[in-house]
Structure 1
């Protein structure tokens, strides 16, 4: 049944999946409160205060390099993490009523194998190993012996004490990976050796370091974790992949979690680059939360007058749903394309044809607009006959 569900999601078009993502994040938009995390990062330096770099991870050229790209340094046997400096409040049970956080993240990345082919155990001149977006217990650090296939998430000797949830972007076929699957994306639950719903990732252009836009969202009501990938260089937005898994994160992770990126190489190498990162989380907690993470200052006190009104959230959710459905008429189908246009403009590579295509694209006019423009269809506005 899970396999059939996964195949169904793979067949969905990107614009529909975007609507699904939007609908799943509506509860988040209607429940912003103190203590939640929201940020947009588009330029990274070694002095970026909100990012903590670990081991071989560093900032270079305004981006995050998880496994180093510095001249004079070997690219093999590298492991690094880049995490947000504050933990996320994943769930709260101080009122006796368990509440889970909604969260969504979007990031632009590239894996560059420097023209090396698909990573396979039978090939010495190939690439490896990949990286992951992950959540782990607050204070989590890179485990010993966790490079190569373990992506800096767990010790490769054993996964008995591993505790994490991750979305992996794997570029090497290990012994535990599906034998017919090459590069793939999957969801990991406490182990990289037993991935959930792996999806083959054939369009990635890793040989040339092609950019990819990734969207990950978790809905606390449905317990669904959804992943959508979009080729940032594809105007037709046909190159996309998606997968999902249903899980109660409170069963696998503690109340406070560290989150970010982790990547590694082994005897084979590649580059793992994060160009931008957006993140937003939302958790409604009790008026007097009893738990704060160690060494982290609590957020501003919540105003006692701000009492929850269920009917307001219901109205907001309904209104948000209607608004999201209206977006089907235009925004979702243009989402990946607009990101491409923006990058082309920023790089100065926008062609005249593309500009004209955007300007001269067909447009619908209402009857009122036509009536006003033609002065009630006056005869003096008619073009000549014959």
Structure 2
């Protein structure tokens, strides 16, 4: 009898718990679905220019002398005739949409990894070379600075005594084939980390002359827990030159360097010498969800309804392509992962 009485007295509590569970389940189903997906989905994209489709070009912003040619992107002129006619040249390729760098509400900064295959082609048989290229993060949208040819690498120009400020601020890893007057003494080819100044690199690794020539693979990572930025470079066409690294700890607070949403991409420039700067493939992965920076990214995604990728229907939970119902955007959880 005592057991039966205990069971009867617990029945209302069980019913209350069951009711509360149903309410919570209903609330989760009715929540804004794109926010649910964003919270669980880190930001990423990738491009393989040997197989890129025309529809993917809307995800790229090309500036200056940059252009898509066949299975690669030339950041500077790929014709010596064009270079002679225009003397110095400079160009940029950036991701066309804002990339979350930190959450303006929580202050959480993204950890990210980018990997890209690229090539620098120097004038065959020539001894002259000048300029180079860089991977950069800057204010969104990307804007190619005027008069940024030669050793400025298509990045904002400073006077060598003070750094750039405001919307000109940037973080970059440079791949420089020339020793300018502001570079460390004795360097020729080198890679370096630049923060708001090309002429005051915070760290530089010197390389044998003419080693930045041919096909290479680079990986750049940033760890938000250690604030360490590390760039590694592998020489695909020069196996005798071992992989090298350059690293630095970014200033604290990192949020003072750039806005919550940034542009990411590549810049390059030449001087009076002709050389190629080509991007063959590129991937970018971030730990910060797209909604963390602001709602602007969600707006961009909703407008680009025909972009390749996948969504989840809130009713079935099954993956379907964006194009299955591009008009009913409110019934989808967005999983923003661009695919080739």
TM-score range, shorter chain: 0.5 to 0.7
| 1:104-156, Cα deviation, whole Å (9 max, x unpaired) | 11111111112366xxxxxxx51110000000011130112111111111135
Q: Work out the CA distance in 2 between the residues paired with 1:36 and 1:154.
A: 27
Closer, same or farther: CA 205–44 of 1 in aligned 2, 3 Å: farther
Q: Following TM superposition, by how much is the alpha carbon of 1:84 offset from its aligned partner in structure 2, in angstroms?
A: 0.8
Partner of 2:281: 276
Of 61, 64, 71, which residue of structure 2 is paired with 1:62?
Answer: 71
- Give the TM-score, by structure 1 length: 0.60
Partner of 1:147: 149
Closer, same or farther: CA 111–46 of 1 in aligned 2, 3 Å: farther
Q: Work out the CA distance in 1 between the residues paired with 2:249 and 2:285.
A: 20
Q: Following TM superposition, by how much is the alpha carbon of 1:233 offset from its aligned partner in structure 2, in angstroms?
A: 3.0
Partner of 2:30: none
Q: Work out the CA distance in 2 between the residues paired with 1:290 and 1:88.
A: 8
Of 50, 55, 79, which residue of structure 2 is paired with 1:43?
Answer: 50
Q: Following TM superposition, by how much is the alpha carbon of 1:40 offset from its aligned partner in structure 2, in angstroms?
A: 3.8
Q: Does 1:165 align with 2:171?
A: yes
Of 216, 223, 235, which residue of structure 2 is paired with 1:219?
Answer: 223
Q: Work out the CA distance in 2 between the residues paired with 1:170 and 1:178.
A: 12
Q: Work out the CA distance in 2 between the residues paired with 1:32 and 1:182.
A: 45
The 5-angstrom pairing of residues 1-386 of structure 1 reads: 33-34=40-41, 36-43=43-50, 47=54, 48-70=57-79, 72-74=81-83, 76-94=87-105, 97-115=106-124, 126-155=128-157, 159-161=163-165, 162-202=168-208, 205-206=211-212, 209-234=213-238, 239-247=242-250, 248=252, 249-283=254-288, 291-293=294-296, 296-297=299-300
| 1:267-319, Cα deviation, whole Å (9 max, x unpaired) | 2231111111111112158xx85833489536799x9xxxxxxxxxxxxxxxx
Q: Work out the CA distance in 1 between the residues paired with 2:129 and 2:238.
A: 24
Closer, same or farther: CA 58–46 of 1 in aligned 2, 3 Å: farther
Q: Work out the CA distance in 2 between the residues paired with 1:235 and 1:184.
A: 17
8 Å contact kept, 2:100–2:289: no
Q: Following TM superposition, by how much is the alpha carbon of 1:239 offset from its aligned partner in structure 2, in angstroms?
A: 1.7
Structure 1 gaps, min length 5: 1-30, 118-124, 304-386
Q: Work out the CA distance in 1 between the residues paired with 2:137 and 2:299.
A: 18
Q: Following TM superposition, by how much is the alpha carbon of 1:41 offset from its aligned partner in structure 2, in angstroms?
A: 2.4
8 Å contact kept, 1:38–1:281: no
Closer, same or farther: CA 181–281 of 1 in aligned 2, 3 Å: same
RMSD over aligned Cα, in angstroms?
2.9
